[in-house]
Structure 1
């Protein structure tokens, strides 16, 4: 790879292609968030349809835990497989495959087999596993591609912009769910069609960006030097001859291998730091939607009643998600966009963890007997946890693994860190569904986990703000 090319990418002016890359790369995260946050109201619909005789029309804890665990297992496997293959065969080649699997999984969820609960839930679990493999396999590819396209001055901001598509996916999921619930509330007997439609509509953003994803050039850190140089002509205002001039930086595969002693000495600390902080964050962040709907719907203005229809129950959850997405998640991503290249990744991550801990302790300590009388204050505090997560560790854990490692290990290490996050997500989500822990105790534990996340941030060997492409090599 030409060092001249690295320098030109690092110093290139912001141009149209950067913004197109943000949209194309961000659609994977958009789709991920759509399906992640559509499952909570969908579970409410399924409970009313297939468990209408159970207390509160709720799906049994074991069944709900199994459904969520299967999907999360798929996400962990996807990040590991696609992360490793991204370094072995190239980012662009796998990008289309991930999108095809996303579309197949989205449509498959809607066409879950049969009408009996056993067939439906088993089929839905399988297709959500497939969807999880595709969506989270897209994470290391999207992060790495954006890192390798962006200029040094705006690299963090562009990657944060890609990640912000997650917030818009949450908003889209909630808006679609509320609209479908309102439309189908006139024909309550068609509830089985409604939840299928909500999940199938998640295929639209993937279809819309498929063509552009197939046209994206291979990144500047690809193995094929000649092809990468030719592809970069599409991105830079620089001819192939100019790009090819100067010194070349050959991929040094022979110097040390993945997980070799030298790899551990050079990159082990950063990989451990990325994995640990992502693991800790996901315990609290992805249990958050379920806990949010559970505790706020018990308060005065969101309480379920026996007279609620399936659409009423799902609508309440989705409406709450709209409020939080607009008031906290998306604003948090916007703040991260402006701060990440000014303040640095590690500072916003550590500060975000600290404020999340403060809010969780503030809710959890006086939880029993207090918050049901102060529902609006409870909603504001929960929104604050989402805001501080998105303008802090939720964005930083996505950005840091793409910036800390050389090209030949970049998607692999991002996938490993992300898979560690999925392990945390499984603990957070499945553990939350176990009825033995009280909600207040859970929140206090979450506050302690955030304190651990703040401490784990000090494990990183360096700040990546302003890092150039050739430094990583």
Structure 2
């Protein structure tokens, strides 16, 4: 049996969209802008790092990072992110969303700067220092996932909640795009200043000493957007749902929301008089208790597994675009370009994919998620990702022949479009809606951490497959091609499995957070809420 909802929460659910909602989107979204920039900008400079620190004097072949170093540089931030998602997700439920929010942002600012200042007397020590700071950068980034999603879901009204959370996550697309643009600008400036002598001397594969500044500036730029929003994050009040349902202070929740939203909210009664004592007994089950597993066990399995499978595909594609483009000869071989020219071409290719496929996909989700629903967008996204990856993998040798590269790039861009107009957005949104307030941040952190585990597997697995080769052929382009084709087949299987696990998470469209989590149900002996369906009716 459902009991009456607190007035402040009812007012939030029914509140009209207003200026503060957009302010909250920008404040929370700039964290994701920074997250995406910091996580993906490393893929733009890894080849440059190899040229600078691992070139053998006198060799005509440009240097490259050893496989173990490349794996560490690409994957260590994900290890930190996974740890941060679990830790800060748990802390957000214990201390409150606001108190923890500033910690994550400041960690990102300091570690972005420190990454660019990585020092050492040998290539190994420079890479070790870089990996150390990128681990802690990832740790701060990890905290931003559960906190941003939870804060936005708890501020939003139920009619447009999906669009608001999706808009926060969509800032990730602008972060990826900005990473490419910043790299284009910096590499162009350094090319104009320092590449000309190299071309005059005929040293096409040269690496000017000033190239060492390029990757450092690119990495440190990530501190700027995070620092710009720190003050505004600290001014945001605690969410009403945390204050009322977890801290048990409905009066303070009403006062906080009255300050920032243009809604008249009457003073709430003391929680004990308003049913707070009943709620304590009714909804006090712990994480992974029998009651939690009965009510939300399949939901958590669904959100975590879908995110895990999605990130295997999404992050391996993003991090190794440069290798894919080289394998299909869209980007020339390294020994035909200077180091700065190579950085420029990689950034140009990734910026084009972000502009045409990645960013539009996010905003299609924002526009349609509260009309179509989470379930159909996620199911459709996984389906089309499976189809397009199979279309790339099966006739792979056709795509690598001259004249067919444009077709490959178009299909490849569509996989990013349907990732973002699909599971890459919905896996972020749904865990912020379907779990109880006192466990919401923790469960989102667990789901997100499962995703980052998938990203780690994807990044290390793709690197391993890219090194596979036919013993009779040792040409690098052929070797990379075999690895790309195998990877695309495996990723298509991951996407297909994601379709199946999508059926475990409920459709949350149009329902209040309390209805979804069952927090309005009286008595622990009640069955799981009828609305916790997995397929819309």
CA distance in 2: counterparts of 1:271 and 1:311, whole angstroms: 46
Do 2:300 and 2:443's aligned partners in 1 also have CA atoms closer than 8 Å? yes
Q: 1:113 aligns with which of 119, 122, 126?
A: 119
Do 2:309 and 2:497's aligned partners in 1 also have CA atoms closer than 8 Å? yes
Q: Where does residue 173 of structure 1 map in the other structure?
A: 179
Cα distance change on mapping 1:340 and 1:240 into 2, 3 Å: closer
Q: 2:502 aligns with which of 423, 437, 457?
A: 457
Do 1:287 and 1:425's aligned partners in 2 also have CA atoms closer than 8 Å? yes
Q: Where does residue 373 of structure 2 map in the other structure?
A: 344
Q: Could you list the runs of 5+ residues in structure 1 that have no partner in the other structure?
A: none
Q: CA deviation at 1:296?
A: 1.4
Q: Where does residue 199 of structure 2 map in the other structure?
A: none
Question: Is 1:387 matched up with 2:417?
Answer: yes
CA distance in 2: counterparts of 1:249 and 1:277, whole angstroms: 37
Q: CA deviation at 1:115?
A: 5.1
CA distance in 2: counterparts of 1:235 and 1:469, whole angstroms: 20
CA distance in 1: counterparts of 2:186 and 2:284, whole angstroms: 56
Question: Is 1:335 matched up with 2:364?
Answer: yes
Q: Where does residue 289 of structure 1 map in the other structure?
A: 318
Please give the per-residue CA displacement for 1:321-360, whole angstroms capped at 9, x wherever unaligned: 1101110111101110111100110110000000000000
Q: Where does residue 232 of structure 1 map in the other structure?
A: 257
Do 2:310 and 2:454's aligned partners in 1 also have CA atoms closer than 8 Å? yes
Please give the per-residue CA displacement for 1:376-415, whole angstroms capped at 9, x wherever unaligned: 1111111000000001000000000001101000000000
Alignment of 1:1-400 (within 5 A): 3-53=6-56, 55-114=61-120, 116-185=122-191, 186-187=193-194, 188-222=208-242, 223-224=246-247, 225=249, 226-238=251-263, 241-242=266-267, 248=274, 250=276, 252=280, 255-368=284-397, 370-373=399-402, 374-400=404-430
Please give the per-residue CA displacement for 1:248-303, whole angstroms capped at 9, x wherever unaligned: 46363773111111111111010000000000000000000233221212334421
Q: Could you tell which deviates more after superposition, 194-203 or 369-378?
A: 369-378
CA distance in 2: counterparts of 1:411 and 1:123, whole angstroms: 31
Q: Where does residue 466 of structure 1 map in the other structure?
A: 510
CA distance in 2: counterparts of 1:372 and 1:84, whole angstroms: 51
CA distance in 2: counterparts of 1:46 and 1:118, whole angstroms: 11
TM-score, normalised on structure 2? Answer: 0.85
CA distance in 1: counterparts of 2:432 and 2:93, whole angstroms: 12
Aligned to 1:340, the other structure's residue is in SS state: helix
CA distance in 1: counterparts of 2:75 and 2:320, whole angstroms: 16
Q: Could you tell which deviates more after superposition, 179-188 or 202-211?
A: 179-188
Do 1:344 and 1:463's aligned partners in 2 also have CA atoms closer than 8 Å? yes
Number of matched residues? 472
CA distance in 1: counterparts of 2:380 and 2:398, whole angstroms: 30
Note the aligned Cα RMSD (angstroms).
Answer: 1.8
Q: Could you list the runs of 5+ residues in structure 2 that have no partner in the other structure?
A: 195-207, 469-481, 520-537
CA distance in 2: counterparts of 1:370 and 1:320, whole angstroms: 17
Cα distance change on mapping 1:243 and 1:317 into 2, 3 Å: farther
Q: Where does residue 410 of structure 1 map in the other structure?
A: 440
Q: CA deviation at 1:440?
A: 0.9
Q: CA deviation at 1:242?
A: 4.1
Greater RCO structure (CA 8 Å; 6+ sep): 1
CA distance in 1: counterparts of 2:178 and 2:280, whole angstroms: 44
CA distance in 2: counterparts of 1:242 and 1:71, whole angstroms: 46
Do 2:392 and 2:488's aligned partners in 1 also have CA atoms closer than 8 Å? yes
Q: CA deviation at 1:470?
A: 2.8
Cα distance change on mapping 1:469 and 1:248 into 2, 3 Å: farther
CA distance in 1: counterparts of 2:85 and 2:512, whole angstroms: 25
Cα distance change on mapping 1:243 and 1:311 into 2, 3 Å: farther
Cα distance change on mapping 1:190 and 1:56 into 2, 3 Å: closer
Q: Could you tell which deviates more after superposition, 65-74 or 99-108?
A: 65-74
Q: Could you tell which deviates more after superposition, 53-62 or 141-150?
A: 53-62
- Point out the structure with max Rg over C-alpha: 2
